[in-house]
Amino acid sequence: MVQPYDDRDGFIWKDGALVPWREANVHILTHAMHYGSSVFEGQRAYGGKIFKLSEHSERLRKSASILGFDLPWSVEEIDNACMEVLEANGLTDAYVRPVAWRGSEQMGVSAQKTLPHLAIAAWNWGKYFDEEKARKGIRLDIAPFRRPAPHTAPVHAKASGLYMICTISKHHAESRGYDDALMFDWEGRVAEATGANAFFVREGKLYTPIADIFLNGITRRTVIDLARDRGIEVIEKRIWPEELASFEEFFLTGSAAEVTFVSEAGPWTFSPGEISRQLQADYMNLVNGRPVKN
Tell me how far apart the alpha carbons of residues 232 and 255 are, in angstroms, rounded to a whole number. 22
With a cut of 90, say whether residue 1 has pLDDT above it: no
Q: What average pLDDT does the chain have?
A: 97
Q: Which of 123, 151, 181 is the last residue of a domain?
A: 123
CB 8 within 8 A of CB 22: yes
Tell me how far apart the alpha carbons of residues 219 and 257 are, in angstroms, rounded to a whole number. 9
Q: Which of 103, 123, 143 is the last residue of a domain?
A: 123
**Residues whose CB falls within 8 Å of the CB of residue 175, separated by 6 or more in sequence, listed in order:** none
**Residue 1 included in any domain:** no
Strand partners, 47: none
**Do 107 and 235 share a domain, yes or no?**
no
3-state secondary structure 141-156: EECCCCCCCCCCCCCC
pLDDT at 37: 97
Q: Which of 115, 138, 251 is nearest to 192 (CA)?
A: 251
For the entire predicted model, the pTM comes to 0.96
Tell me how far apart the alpha carbons of residues 76 and 99 are, in angstroms, rounded to a whole number. 16
**Do 96 and 149 share a domain, yes or no?**
no
**Do 85 and 18 share a domain, yes or no?**
yes
Which residues are known catalytic residues? 158
With a cut of 90, say whether residue 130 has pLDDT above it: no
CB 116 within 8 A of CB 102: yes
**In which domain, by residue range, is 231 found?**
131-287
Tell me how far apart the alpha carbons of residues 269 and 136 are, in angstroms, rounded to a whole number. 12
- In three-state secondary structure terms, 212 is coil
pLDDT at 115: 97
